[in-house]
């Protein structure tokens, strides 16, 4: 038994349907002639941009080979690069960089290097747009085996997703995601560490990296950030 990386990438798309956050990011993508999607995953944002008539340069980078394969198949005329944000090698080429669906939270030990590379990849005055879960809301506390949820995958297979937080150390939350059968038999377990930075820490790290925060929202409708907001949404500009 087991569940392949390709199946996990397809399941990602089943679990992550288009939503208000995607509309938010899409508005910045459509307004820019050249776009870099950092942690692009299966490429859904750039695929939609092309479908909606974006004729400019679209590029995505992601370390997950199976996710990126899926992106390549969906949109062959974009540039898809295997790697992490800290591996970015472009210089001054993009009007906008985005990190959608909380991909920003995957930047932990390599956060400063990643921000430096994203800044370098941007053209003068370019924007970096991303969101991150608000640590004040402590969303990870609901990621436990007593809150599983059921899903039917792309092959019609009935599955159960089970989450378990292993460790909270400072701002870093390490958890597992187990893809299981409905009788809880595990098929695969993935482990990730997410960075939960608050507003002050985000502002400090962005300033240090050479960005200015142009706008900060608490929701995808651009309402102002409050301490109870689920998300911290930032539009930063390269200085
Ligand atoms: C939650 S997914 C978001 C995918 C996509 N942005 C979306 O909106 O569906 C997070 C993505 O970040 C990628 N990732 C993990 N570490 C990364 C890093 N250091 N740099 C860039 N991407 C990373 C993962 O492989 C994964 O595809």
pLDDT value of residue 222:
98
Report how far apart, in Å, the C-alpha atoms of 136 and of each of 128, 152, 222 are. 23, 32, 19
- 154-206 pLDDT, tens digit per residue, is 999 999 999 999 999 999 999 999 999 999 999 999 999 999 999 999 999 99
Closest CA to 34 of 84, 74, 94: 94
Q: Is 85 in the pocket of ligand 1 (CB under 6 A)?
A: yes
pLDDT value of residue 4:
98
Q: What token pair was written down for 55?
A: 């004729």
For ligand 1, the distance from its centroid to the CA atom of residue 40, given in whole angstroms, is: 6
For ligand 1, the distance from its centroid to the CA atom of residue 101, given in whole angstroms, is: 8
pLDDT value of residue 194:
98
Report how far apart, in Å, the C-alpha atoms of 155 and of each of 8, 60, 91 are. 12, 27, 41
Over residues 54-72, the mean pLDDT reads: 98
Q: Is 8 in the pocket of ligand 1 (CB under 6 A)?
A: no
Give phi and psi for 237, each to the nearest 5.
-120, 140
Average pLDDT value over all residues in the chain: 98
- 209-234 pLDDT, tens digit per residue, is 999 999 999 999 999 999 999 999 99
- 84-136 pLDDT, tens digit per residue, is 999 999 999 999 999 999 999 999 999 999 999 999 999 999 999 999 999 99
- What is the DSSP annotation of the chain? ----HHHHHHHHHHHS---HHHHHHHHHHHT-SEEEEET-TT-HHHHHHHHTT--SEEEEEES-HHHHHHHHHH-TTSEEEES-GGG----S-EEEEEE-TTGGGG-STTHHHHHHHHHHHEEEEEEEEEEEE-GGG-GGGG-STTS-EEEE-TTS-EEEEEEEEEEEETTEEEEEEEEEETT--EEEEEEEEEE---HHHHHHHHHHTTEEEEEEESSTT-PBP-TT-SEEEEEEEE-
For ligand 1, the distance from its centroid to the CA atom of residue 224, given in whole angstroms, is: 26
For ligand 1, the distance from its centroid to the CA atom of residue 136, given in whole angstroms, is: 23
pTM above 0.95, yes or no: yes
pLDDT at 1 over 80: no
Residue nearest to atom 27 of ligand 1 (CA): 41
Q: Is 100 in the pocket of ligand 1 (CB under 6 A)?
A: yes
pLDDT at 51 over 90: yes
Calculate ∠ Cα 148-135-197, nearest 5°: 125
Q: Is 39 in the pocket of ligand 1 (CB under 6 A)?
A: yes
pLDDT value of residue 155:
97
Pairwise CA distance, residues 161 & 184, whole Å: 9
Largest CA distance in the chain: 54
pLDDT value of residue 129:
99
Cβ atoms 64, 42 nearer than 8 A: no
């Amino acid at each position: 038994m087991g569940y392949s990386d390709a199946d996990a990438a397809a399941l990602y798309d089943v679990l992550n349907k288009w939503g208000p956050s995607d509309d938010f990011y899409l508005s910045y993508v459509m307004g820019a002639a050249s776009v870099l999607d950092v942690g692009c995953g299966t490429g859904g944002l750039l695929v939609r941009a092309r479908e909606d008539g974006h004729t400019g340069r679209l590029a995505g980078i992601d370390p997950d080979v199976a996710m990126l394969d899926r992106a390549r198949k969906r949109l062959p005329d974009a540039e898809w690069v295997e790697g992490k944000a800290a591996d970015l090698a472009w210089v001054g080429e993009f009007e906008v960089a985005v990190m959608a669906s909380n991909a920003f939270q995957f930047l932990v030990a390599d956060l400063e290097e990643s921000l430096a590379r994203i800044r370098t990849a941007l053209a003068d005055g370019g924007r970096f747009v991303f969101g991150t879960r608000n640590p004040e809301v402590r969303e990870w506390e609901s990621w436990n085996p007593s809150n599983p949820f059921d899903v039917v995958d792309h092959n019609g297979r009935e599955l159960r997703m089970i989450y378990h937080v292993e460790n909270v150390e400072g701002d870093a939350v390490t958890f597992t995601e187990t893809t299981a059968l409905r009788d809880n038999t595990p098929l695969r377990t993935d482990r990730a560490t997410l960075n939960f930075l608050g507003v002050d820490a985000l502002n400090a790290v962005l300033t240090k990296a050479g960005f200015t925060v142009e706008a900060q929202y608490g929701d995808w409708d651009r309402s102002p950030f409050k301490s109870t907001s689920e998300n911290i949404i930032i539009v930063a500009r390269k200085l």
